[in-house]
Amino acid sequence: MMTSMSTRPVAETLGPPRHFLDIADVDAATLRRMIDLAAQYRTGTAPEALRSPLVGKTLAMIFEKPSTRTRVSFQVGMQELGGHVVVLSHQDTQLGRGETIPDAARVLSRFVDMLMIRTFAPETLHELADYASVPVINGLTDETHPCQVMADIATFEQHRGPIAGKVIAWSGDGNNVAQSWIEAAPKFGFEMRLACPEGLEPRADIVARARAAGAAVVVGNDPQALVEGADCVITDTWLSMHDTDTDRSNMLLPYQVNRALMARAKPSALFMHCLPAHRNEEVTDEVMDGPQSVVWDEAENRLHAQKAIMVWCMGLLP
């Protein structure tokens, strides 16, 4: 797990760890370096020194919600970087029996070099980061999903080149993934449009912060109008893992991404979905399996983007 007993005290004397909590917290130049490194991992052109730089390092992942992509992409990514992974499900650890997050953060920081958490309230993520002496990565909260959106931006650029100046349209619930997209808009210089039913719009403070940082963010209730001329159309599930409603189909069916909605976007528009998808609810089979869909590349890019994020967290990328 550690190369020597000296690893831990060094981490504690290096100053504050580099956390990856939200896109809004990281400066644009750093995010750009991560996306560029992700592309290099994808194409096998990463600098030699960054191919397996995490030999002897361990990542612990805490899951309070289910996961397929996040879990496997972090595990394989860490292995490819030369390191190891420990996976902790909330109910199988003492966290599930009431050990506090600050105590768990201090203990885990003595064993591992980096932490990733998928949780409910963002406060849990921030508390873990406040008490950990090693970097903490946000693997999804009720409010944001920054690793997903880094992979999505890498995917857009893989297919269409620089995202700056492009129009990205979201149709559906203004959820955690949508909110990370909004945070990315001022960092990468694209226009973000969101069509959401009344009551399911993204948080007003997240929209206001992105606008104050210079981004064009448009929020409305008309998917046809907002998708018009877009370079990319994105949606997500009607019910996220933290949602307690049982049915939102009446509210969200008008926001379904189908052939008619895709026809409003540019002919070259991409379709993205973070997955898992509920086929023929938020997106039709025809779009999901159609020529504009890049959802499998998007899933693959989780691996490449998170490798770049972990390398940055460990201080190996400026």
Residues labelled catalytic: 118, 145, 148, 236, 274, 302
Burial class (CB in 10 A: 0-12, 13-18, 19+), 7: middle
Which position has the token pair 């970087």? 81
Q: Does 237 bind ligand NVA (CB under 6 A)?
A: yes
Q: Output the CA–CA distances (angstroms, integers) from residue 223 to 130, 133, 272, in the order listed.
A: 40, 44, 16
Q: Output the CA–CA distances (angstroms, integers) from residue 9 to 133, 178, 212, 316, in the order listed.
A: 10, 39, 40, 18
Which position has the token pair 């760890």? 17
Which residues, numbered 129-158, are part of the site for ligand NVA (CB under 6 A)? 140
Q: Does 277 bind ligand NVA (CB under 6 A)?
A: no
- Rank residues 144 and 292 by Cβ distance to ligand NVA and give the closer one: 144
Closest approach, Cβ 277 to ligand CP, in A, equals 10
Q: Which of 223, 73, 217 is nearest to 148 (CA)?
A: 73
Query: Which does residue 68 touch among ligand NVA, ligand CP, none (CB within 5 to 8 A, set by kind)?
Result: ligand CP
Q: Does 7 bind ligand NVA (CB under 6 A)?
A: no
Closest approach, Cβ 237 to ligand CP, in A, equals 10
Interacting span for ligand NVA (CB under 6 A) from 97-105, 173-181, 246-254, 301-309: 173-181
Query: Which does residue 237 touch among ligand CP, ligand NVA, none (CB within 5 to 8 A, set by kind)?
Result: ligand NVA
Q: Does 148 bind ligand CP (CB under 6 A)?
A: yes
Interacting span for ligand NVA (CB under 6 A) from 98-106, 195-203, 232-240, 250-258: 232-240
Q: Which residues have a Cβ under 8 Å from the Cβ of 161 and sit 6 or more positions away?
A: none
Tokens for 78?
Answer: 């860490």
Dihedrals phi, psi of 64, to nearest 5 degrees: -100, -5
In contact, 197 and 209? CB cutoff 8 Å: no
Annotate each residue in 276-305 with x if it binds ligand CP (CB under 6 A) or - if it does not, as one string.
x-----------------------------
> Interface with ligand CP by CB under 6 A: which residues?
67-70, 140, 148, 274-276
